């Protein structure tokens, strides 16, 4: 598959393998294929994968982490704008990301891939990061449990709504964005009733 130079710098090889892993796991899922076969598809030896990622789960985890880090970076809301606007930017960027990288991201979130608690922590980092960003922008530094649950739930709505969108299609990005933003209103109501107490 590779056909490039047999010996690469550590960094280049690592990125190449992660890029491959992203494609591979999105398509085949975690542990659907033995490491021997995965390595062969990647054009390297099994030993090399173990050398770079420790074990099978390690390879999968690093791949997932690369994607989640990307999502977190992309959805960073602009700092110099009022909440409403920054919020819309955040949602828009997320939907845009899903539109482009949809299949891979969905395969990830849906758990079409395998997972254990560690992998789930990675995925949860995306949700918690989004939640904290929203709380911070709203100036809620000590939110109640209910507030956190409300935002967390909304983030899940966005995530899974997008996942479903990737599968079924049939709606424009704009429609999705509007849906997500209007869905936030009840959550915002909870947060504000919070603030008054």
Binding site for its own copies (CB under 8 A): 29-32, 110-117, 119-120, 144-146, 148-150, 152-161, 164-165, 168-171, 175-176, 179-180, 182-183, 185-187, 189-190
Residue 7 contacts which entry, its own copies, DNA, none (Cβ below 5-8 A, type-dependent): DNA
Give the up-direction half-sphere exposure of residue 101: CA atoms within 13 A in the CB hemisphere. Answer: 17
Residue 8 contacts which entry, DNA, its own copies, none (Cβ below 5-8 A, type-dependent): DNA
In the block, residue with structure tokens 């899940």: 156
In a 10 Å sphere around its CB, with 0-12 CB exposed, 13-18 middle and 19+ buried, how is residue 65 labelled?
middle
Binding letters toward DNA, positions 26-65, x by CB under 7 A: -----x--xxx-------xxxxx-xx--xxxx--------
Dist. CA 57–CA 195, nearest whole Å: 43
**Considering the complex, what minimum distance in angstroms separates the CB of residue 19 from DNA?**
14
C-beta closer to its own copies: residue 44 or 155: 155
C-beta closer to its own copies: residue 16 or 183: 183
Interacting residues toward DNA by CB under 7 A:
5-10, 13, 31, 34-36, 44-48, 50-51, 54-57
């Amino acid at each position: 598959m590779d056909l490039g130079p047999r010996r690469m710098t550590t960094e280049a090889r690592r990125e190449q393998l992660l890029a491959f892993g992203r494609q591979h796991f999105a398509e085949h899922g975690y542990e659907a294929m033995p490491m021997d076969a995965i390595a062969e598809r990647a054009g390297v030896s099994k030993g090399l994968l173990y050398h770079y990622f420790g074990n099978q789960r390690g390879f999968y985890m690093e791949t997932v982490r690369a994607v989640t880090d990307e999502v977190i970076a992309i959805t960073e809301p602009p700092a110099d704008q009022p909440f409403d606007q920054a919020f819309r930017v955040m949602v828009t960027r997320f939907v845009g990301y899903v539109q482009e990288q949809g299949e891979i991201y969905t395969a990830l979130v849906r758990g079409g891939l395998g997972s254990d608690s560690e992998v789930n922590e990675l995925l949860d980092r995306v949700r918690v990061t989004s939640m904290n960003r929203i709380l911070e922008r709203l100036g809620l530094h000590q939110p109640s449990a209910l507030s956190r649950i409300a935002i967390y739930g909304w983030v899940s709505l966005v995530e899974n709504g997008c996942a479903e969108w990737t599968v079924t299609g049939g709606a424009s990005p704009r429609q999705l964005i509007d849906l997500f933003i209007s869905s936030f209103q009840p959550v915002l109501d909870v947060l504000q009733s919070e603030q008054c107490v």
